[in-house]
Amino acid sequence: MDEHIDVLKSRMEEDSFQRLMALQNPSLHRFLARYAELCNPDKIVVLDDSPEAYQWMREEAVRRGEERPIGLDGQTIHYDGYFDQARDKKQTKYLLPPDVDYGAQLNSTDREEGLREIHEILAGIMVGHTLYVRFYTLGPQGSIFSISCVQLTDSSYVAHSENILYRPGYEQFRSLGASQDYFRFVHSEGELKNAVSINIDKRRVYIDLQENIVYSTNTQYAGNTVGLKKLAMRLAIKRSASEDWLTEHMFVMGVHGPAGRTTYLTGAFPSACGKTSTSMLPGESIIGDDIAYLRLIDGRVRAVNVETGIFGIIRDVNEKDDPVIFKVLTFPGEAIFSNILVTEDNTPRWLGDDRPEPTHGHNHSGEWQPSKKDAAGNVITMSHKNARYTIPIARLSNRDPMADDPRGVPIGGLIYGGRDSDTTVPVEQAFDWDHGIITKAASLESETTAATLGQEGVRRFNLMSILDFLSYPMGEYIENNLRFGHAMDTPPLIFAVNYFLKGPEGQYLNGMLDKRVWVQWMERRIHGEFRARRSPTGLIPLYEDLKELFAIYLGHDYTLEEYNEQFKIRIPELLAKVERIEKVYAAEKNIPTALFDALRTQRERLEELQKKHGDYMLPESLPVEDA
């Protein structure tokens, strides 16, 4: 028997060992043995796809104290450390050879130095812990989209979360045989105190694209630890670039138009910009809320949801604005809450849930009351601004019946949206594929929120909402997106949305559910049923069409005054945006010349309009184009 098999057998009970040996994959055995020796867990547990294994993992998370039951049957609460409640962008790095340069926007370090450091941190890190070995599939099983994965983690919370978020993969892994074509993830929560990671100074998230391995240490927050989420996304982005398909930070949803018609849209939004709430709109159907794979099949774009669950921001989820999610979170069924408040009667509560604020409770800071402050004198809110929930999509009443189709669903339109208080209109269609990829997708900006560490309210460039996860140079990525559209006879339409435009008094100009009108307008545009006004930056709705949609879908008497304020062309702000985007790309290498040409042309159109109409222009002066 090989030496690595001896290592594994000595640390496993017989049933786990037999499950591992049933996967006749020597590279998997060597990989697991290497990190078993390095991390030195007390015990290794290998789990398969059975319901019993999933139930055991739920119970293990409670036994280990990483979750505790609360509220209704199936609900648990998990707390991350006080300083471990967002993605650590600074310490998330690609491990690159010395001769590889991904540009200033992508965080990287020398591969050999990074591997040396991460292995030093991992040495002995799991002493006293159990190592859980889990197998999952990204995308539908047995599909052209699917990718096999193995997760090593000593966090029962991480393993339980992944059981909710991803399709089981043990049986698909069995079919791999000796293939090394799978993604690998190594995570340790490190030393714990009161069931939370404490060595935050040694928090690291390192991605080795050469070996398809992601390392994550001394953190529990799911954005840093759930390997198959944004960490696997980085690996898949790299793979898809070499195979002529796309990995995107996108939801997939069905919009239900007239006469029983369903049109599928994808959408890319940075965190806390309305991505999940758009995918969950009442009256529409959801396939996925976060990550999509897009492929050309028979000349048409089709997409799948990589996941089967949702790790969503819970702030402002309430019965009025997010009724589908709110119902799931307030009825019995499997749900993991993280970093929210639990009241004395064991009820989960969070910011923006539209219920009276409690006077006492327990949250990520310990025992809580409204006047509590942290060591720096800052008031501690009842739940963290980036508090989350993890639920199976199958619990949603509006889950689309095509959600698990191995061929995916045909895509009619792509949406790009950010958090923008003063520049872009609520909804706009690009002139064509190239114009959309360059001026909507590759020019995306968003004002920062609590979803990432650092200052809030700062306008940040975020290429296609994927900049944090991009795993090869930006210029190549833009070129690949352009080429992807060129391979189609009729590419999907591209739209941009902005739910966060504010008026002169600082008030939001749209309600939370107005986005339903925007997606219904897109649906009609895709099918050639609505005309549009041509602005310098894209095609915007006619007032009479929006008035009709607001009446049908929201029962709202939409006024011309509302329309004019929302769709006013803000030329100085739009010119400033063009200048910012040009400056970003001027600092990068090998950016396609088509990008600079499109931005220059857009600037010229804005300047021409400015000469004729001044800085601000009402939409009624714009020409109307046929559908």
Rounded CA-CA distance 507/26 in Å is 60
Is the per-residue pLDDT at 456 higher than 80? no
Rounded CA-CA distance 450/85 in Å is 9
**Close Cβ partners of 52 (under 8 Å, ≥ 6 residues apart):** none
Is the per-residue pLDDT at 450 higher than 80? no
Strand 538-540 relative to strand 532-535, pairing: antiparallel
Is the per-residue pLDDT at 452 higher than 60? no
Structure confidence at residue 256 (pLDDT):
98
Strand 300-305 relative to strand 292-297, pairing: antiparallel
Write out pLDDT tens, residues 53-91.
999 999 999 999 999 999 899 999 999 988 888 889 899
Identify which of 138, 132, 136 has the alpha carbon closest to the alpha carbon of residue 163. Answer: 136
Structure confidence at residue 408 (pLDDT):
97
- The pair of structure tokens assigned to 366 is 């310990």
Is the per-residue pLDDT at 42 higher than 60? yes
Write out pLDDT tens, residues 510-563.
998 899 999 999 999 999 999 999 999 999 999 999 999 999 999 999 999 999
Residues labelled catalytic? 273
Structure confidence at residue 457 (pLDDT):
66
Per-residue pLDDT, averaged over 255-264, amounts to 97
Structure confidence at residue 317 (pLDDT):
92
Strand 130-138 relative to strand 147-153, pairing: antiparallel
Give yes or no for a contact between 205 and 197, defined as CB atoms under 8 angstroms apart.
no
Write out pLDDT tens, residues 90-105.
999 999 999 888 877 7
Is the per-residue pLDDT at 403 higher than 80? yes
Task: For residue 33, give the DSSP letter.
Answer: H
Average pLDDT of the chain, as a whole number: 94
Structure confidence at residue 181 (pLDDT):
94
**b/e for 270-294, b at 16 or more Cβ within 10 A?**
bbbbbbbbbbbbeebbbbbbbbbbb
Helix spans in 439-473 (H): none
In the structure, what pLDDT confidence band is assigned to residue 4 with cuts at 50, 70 and 90? confident
Give yes or no for a contact between 480 and 241, defined as CB atoms under 8 angstroms apart.
yes
In the structure, what pLDDT confidence band is assigned to residue 455 with cuts at 50, 70 and 90? low
Structure confidence at residue 507 (pLDDT):
95
Secondary structure of 272-328 in the HEC alphabet?
CCCHHHHHCCCCCEEEECCCEEEEEECCEEEEEECCCEEEEECCCCCCCCCHHHHHH
In the structure, what pLDDT confidence band is assigned to residue 280 with cuts at 50, 70 and 90? confident
Q: Which residue has the tokens 């400015």?
A: 610
pTM of this structure: 0.92
CA 465, 467, 473, 474 torsion-angle sign? positive
What residues form DSSP beta bridges with 75?
Answer: 335
Rounded CA-CA distance 232/113 in Å is 22
Structure confidence at residue 109 (pLDDT):
94
The angle that helices 3-11 and 14-22 make with each other, rounded to 10 degrees, is: 140
Write out pLDDT tens, residues 354-400.
999 999 999 988 899 998 998 889 899 999 989 999 999 999 999 99
Rounded (to 5) percent helix, strand, coil in the chain: 35, 25, 40
Per-residue pLDDT, averaged over 588-603, amounts to 96
**Close Cβ partners of 471 (under 8 Å, ≥ 6 residues apart):** 94, 102, 106, 207, 209, 234, 235, 237, 238
Structure confidence at residue 627 (pLDDT):
78
In the chain the domains, ranked by start, together with CATH numbers, are: 3-66+90-243 (3.40.449.10), 247-307+401-625 (3.90.228.20), 311-395 (2.170.8.10)
Per-residue pLDDT, averaged over 475-501, amounts to 96
Name the strand (E) or helix (H) holding 598.
helix 593-613
Is the per-residue pLDDT at 7 higher than 90? no
Per-residue pLDDT, averaged over 565-582, amounts to 97
Backbone angles phi, psi at 114, to 5 degrees: -65, -45
Better pLDDT: 468 or 627: 468
Is the per-residue pLDDT at 451 higher than 60? no
* C-alpha radius of gyration, the chain, whole number: 25
Number of separate helices (H) and strands (E) present in the chain: 18, 36
